[in-house]
Structure 1
Amino acid sequence: MTEFEFMKSTYSTAGGECVEVALNIPDAVAIRDSKHPTAGTIRLTPTAWRTFLGSPVRPR
């Protein structure tokens, strides 16, 4: 199996609050915390990823 090639999100902050995303596998999108890369990943289908990106941001 090909390994995920993670890249840091352009939305990551300089304070270390970062997520990394891997888009190099055709049927999967992987997301992980760059501060704890061995803690695990969240894996989504490309369709779920596009839905997530299109979701509105809700205030807290």
Structure 2
Amino acid sequence: MEHYRRKYARVEGSMKLEHDPGKEVFIDYACKKLQIIDKETRELIPLEVFVAILPNNTP
């Protein structure tokens, strides 16, 4: 924490990470499954939501 406070003394937030554009991708699935309704059968169909983030902190 000492090094973090020196580098980011005036930046607010819980954590700052440095990322080069296009070098990383963060992927995950949303926790709770969503549901869609089949228009013909009126059946509820559970589905998972895929989430991908491309971080970039260029000025």
Please state which band the TM-score falls in when normalised by the shorter chain. Answer: under 0.3
Between 1 and 2, higher relative CO (CA 8 Å, sep ≥ 6) is seen in: 2
TM-score, with structure 2 as normaliser: 0.21
Tell which structure's C-alpha radius of gyration is larger. 2
Structure holding more helix per residue: 1
TM-score, with structure 1 as normaliser: 0.21
